[in-house]
Structure 1
């Protein structure tokens, strides 16, 4: 039995996890990749009680497919232990370049490096690429090559925000793409079994995939420049302090994304927080802590961030709040 794999992409804060929660069915397995060493996104996904889930940290596209193949092999082990699933959704980090990920799942792509890779190639096939697009920030985001590739290589674009003339502009990048409105899309339309094809998509897609096949120098591969993910893990934060901390982080130059769960002293429920760029969205209280494990866990993603200053600021939340620069 060959299991279809659907790749879910979209730049930081586009709304992938929101769509993923709508797409989940009991027979769907998940691979959730996060840019950083602390997993947060898997806590924000509403998994079914018997959902087969594999999480990975670090950059799945900089690992040139090896990490994804390892994750899929992990799902095969779960299946051997009794997990049942008929499809897989791979949710990538928002910074992921889809080219190497796709190349690791299609025939003629990244060569198999061992028995495990051959086993994964026989068990899974790439069925489709779904890209979530936040139109409000798209003009600036298109300057990033990974965003352009996420759009150009997609089978489906799920759009959030005012459409304007964006459908026509996006079809100029990817003529064969199907376009959907995030508010009305039927998730079942995005999960139709198929076989991924580069034909009909962006003009450069075939060249991008071939380039990945011949990429040999993997020792220092970094597709994201000075972008870093800073994990912040701790206990209960005082209500009077955490909002000031978040406001200070959101104002930092180079900020791309902040997300996670906060434990506060005013409510036993977790506060789900997220921000994109310099904009923070209102926090939402979740009903319970994932897996019953209370505690603050945040990930801050940005370019040129002072990691030590961020960690000092976070550690000092129970006392006076120092400046982010000191």
Structure 2
């Protein structure tokens, strides 16, 4: 089965109270979502959230014995395996997509690792993308106080800013500037009462070469603008006295930057560099996206996508999405200086220092 024929899985994440269940309810009511199964993870002895989702039971699967980022990972694998088996046997209605809603306290990265590495899952499912909800009212406080919320934003492909009808335009603008500073390549949408077009959430194009050609252009144009016009923010709690807990998330430690490489890169050398970075800095490499001019195949660029130390197999595009045939790399990192990335590219990927450029918007 080709990757594009696998069942797409969308991970819906977001901190406590950010409106995930409201968004999920809206999505499941839309006609085009009729063939979607939702897997809801809960934390606590009594599972309640699934009772708030308005859907028939054959479209829901509940994981209720712990946080999805630890003990429930095996349950997620078993649930996805069971769904695929029942789908093949015809004992449940056919479905064409899965939505996984994480707990508000979950780091979504282990979920992505499970979907990217578990053999049975990789053979049947593919990651469509990560959607993170951010509460416009409490988002600034949450990002400052909780590291999990920062990581949810950092790994997202789509960001939904919820409860936008409850804040001023200035407050919303400050929050969105902070989100762009953390993750400049995620598409951002404003949401009120959970109402969002499914097209703004689904089909992120991570595995679809046809969709990817357009996406890679947007990734790097957006990243280039962020690099030239960085967003600086202070933790001033929207201009009021800050009463955050003492254990801050320091989302200012999360930064993004992009690199342009003027010369082709040999495939084996690039793979060696990826292995090195993943082994030594994988924990802090939150997201990585790249389109690479490989010396051995100059007319078919590679697109590489990674989360921490796990990378999707590179996919070749049919052709370059623009006249620009330089390699372009986008990093969302925690505490990794740009200079380290540049130095390792020179040492392990045999890239000359003069070929590494800072992009212009």
TM-score of the alignment, normalized to the shorter chain, above 0.5: yes
Q: Secondary structure at the match of 1:62?
A: coil
**Cα drift, residue 46 of structure 1:** 0.8
Equivalent in 183, 206, 231 of residue 195 of structure 1: 206
Where does residue 142 of structure 2 map in the other structure? 141
Deviations for 1:4-38, whole angstroms, at most 9, x for unmatched residues? 00000010111101000111122001110001132
- The answer for unaligned runs of 5 or more in structure 2 is 224-254, 257-284, 289-305, 312-361
CA contact (8 A) 1:134 1:159 kept: yes
**TM-score, scaled relative to structure 2:** 0.51
CA contact (8 A) 1:54 1:74 kept: no
Where does residue 303 of structure 2 map in the other structure? none
Q: Sort the Cα spacing of 1:64 and 1:206 in 2 relative to 1 into closer, same or farther, 3 A.
A: farther
Which structure dedicates a bigger proportion of its chain to helix? 2
**Cα drift, residue 170 of structure 1:** 0.6
Where does residue 324 of structure 2 map in the other structure? none
Q: Secondary structure at the match of 1:35?
A: coil
Where does residue 196 of structure 2 map in the other structure? 185
The list of structure 1 runs, each at least 4 consecutive aligned residues, that deviate by more than 3 angstroms after superposition, is: 196-204, 206-213
- The answer for unaligned runs of 5 or more in structure 1 is 111-116, 214-326
Q: Give me the whole-angstrom Cα distance separating, in 2, the residues matched to 1:10 and 1:90.
A: 12
CA contact (8 A) 1:8 1:130 kept: yes
Equivalent in 34, 45, 65 of residue 37 of structure 1: 45
**Cα drift, residue 145 of structure 1:** 1.2
Q: Secondary structure at the match of 1:14?
A: coil
CA contact (8 A) 2:139 2:175 kept: no
1:33-182 counterparts in 2 under 5 A? 33-48=41-56, 51-57=58-64, 58-63=66-71, 65-79=73-87, 80=89, 81-106=91-116, 110=117, 117-142=118-143, 143-160=145-162, 161=164, 162=167, 163-182=172-191
Q: Secondary structure at the match of 1:73?
A: helix
Where does residue 205 of structure 1 map in the other structure? 286
Q: Give me the whole-angstrom Cα distance separating, in 1, the residues matched to 2:310 and 2:204.
A: 25
Q: CA RMSD in A?
A: 2.6
Q: Give me the whole-angstrom Cα distance separating, in 2, the residues matched to 1:193 and 1:206.
A: 15
Q: How many residues align?
A: 203
